[in-house]
Structure 1
Amino acid sequence: MPPAGFYRGEVIHARTRPTRHEFRYNVDFIVLDLPDLSAFAAAKPVFGRNRFAPISFHDRDQLVPSPDSVTALDRLNHVLVQAGRPTVTSARLVTFPRFFGFGFSPVSFWFDASSQSCAPLLLEVNNTFGERHIYHLSAEVSRCHVIDKTFFVSPFNATRGSYHVRFAPFDGRFSARVDLEVEDRPLLFTTLRGQFSHASRWSATTAAARCLASGTTALPFIWLQGLKLRKKGLKPLMRPNSVSTDTLVSEPPRTYKRHQDH
Structure 2
Amino acid sequence: MKLEHIQAQTHHARRGALKNAFTYGVDYVLTDLGSAAPLLISRNRFNLWSIWDHRHGGARDAGHGVEWFRSVLEERGMPTENAQLLLLTQPSFLWFHFNPVSFWIAVVDGTPRAFVAEVNSTFGQRHCYFCARDGFAPIQKSDTLIAEKLMHVSPFQKIAGHYAFNFGLTEDNVDIRITFKNGDHGVLATLAGQRQPATSRSLAWAAIRRPLGAARVLALIHWQAAILYLKRAPFLKKQKPPEQLISDGHDLHGAGE
Taking structure 1 as the reference length, what is the TM-score of the superposition?
0.82
Change (3 A) 1:151 1:215: closer
Query: 1:238 offset after TM fit, Å?
Result: 1.9
**Deviation sequence 1:169-216 (CA, Å, 0-9, x none):** 514221101001112x46211001122221222122212222338894
> SS state of the match for residue 208, structure 1?
helix
Equivalence for 2:181: 181
Q: How does 1:67-86 map to 2 (within 5 A)?
A: 71-80=64-73, 84-86=76-78
Deviates more, 1:221-230 or 1:198-207: 198-207
Counterparts of 2:223 and 2:246 in 1: how far apart (Å)? 26
Query: 1:144 offset after TM fit, Å?
Result: 0.8
**Deviation sequence 1:95-149 (CA, Å, 0-9, x none):** 1111112121111111113454232321110000111110010134121111111
Q: Contact conserved, 2:91 with 2:97, CA < 8 A, in 1?
A: yes
Equivalent of residue 86 in structure 2, options 78, 86, 92? 92
Letter in 2 for 1:98: S
Counterparts of 2:105 and 2:153 in 1: how far apart (Å)? 23
Name the count of aligned residue pairs: 239
Q: Contact conserved, 2:207 with 2:213, CA < 8 A, in 1?
A: no
**Deviation sequence 1:146-178 (CA, Å, 0-9, x none):** 111111100100001111100235142211010
Equivalence for 2:10: 11
Counterparts of 2:27 and 2:110 in 1: how far apart (Å)? 26
Q: Contact conserved, 1:179 with 1:186, CA < 8 A, in 2?
A: no
* 1:148 equivalenced with 2:148 (yes/no): yes
Equivalence for 1:172: 172
* 1:28 equivalenced with 2:20 (yes/no): no
Structure with larger Rg: 1
Q: Which consecutive residues of structure 2, in runs of 5 or more, have no partner in the other structure?
A: 248-257
Q: Contact conserved, 2:177 with 2:189, CA < 8 A, in 1?
A: yes
Q: CA RMSD in A?
A: 2.6
Letter in 2 for 1:141: I
**Deviation sequence 1:66-111 (CA, Å, 0-9, x none):** 998x751112134445x54446354011111111121211111111
Letter in 2 for 1:77: R
Equivalent of residue 49 in structure 1, options 43, 46, 49? 43
Q: How does 1:1-262 map to 2 (within 5 A)?
A: 3-34=2-33, 36-38=34-36, 40=37, 43-44=38-39, 46-65=40-59, 71-80=64-73, 84-86=76-78, 88-89=80-81, 90-138=84-132, 139=136, 140-142=138-140, 143-183=143-183, 185=184, 187-212=186-211, 216-246=215-245
Query: 1:234 offset after TM fit, Å?
Result: 0.8
Change (3 A) 1:201 1:92: same
Letter in 1 for 2:80: V
Q: Contact conserved, 1:122 with 1:135, CA < 8 A, in 2?
A: yes
Letter in 2 for 1:88: T
Q: Contact conserved, 1:197 with 1:203, CA < 8 A, in 2?
A: no
Q: Contact conserved, 1:131 with 1:247, CA < 8 A, in 2?
A: no
Q: Contact conserved, 2:96 with 2:215, CA < 8 A, in 1?
A: no
Equivalence for 2:250: none
Q: Contact conserved, 1:165 with 1:179, CA < 8 A, in 2?
A: yes
Change (3 A) 1:32 1:126: same
Letter in 2 for 1:51: R
Q: Contact conserved, 1:49 with 1:58, CA < 8 A, in 2?
A: yes
Q: Which consecutive residues of structure 1, in runs of 5 or more, have no partner in the other structure?
A: 249-262
Query: 1:244 offset after TM fit, Å?
Result: 3.9
Change (3 A) 1:91 1:247: closer
Please identify which structure carries the higher strand content: 2
Deviates more, 1:221-230 or 1:196-205: 196-205
Counterparts of 1:117 and 1:202 in 2: how far apart (Å)? 29
Taking structure 2 as the reference length, what is the TM-score of the superposition?
0.83
Change (3 A) 1:111 1:61: same
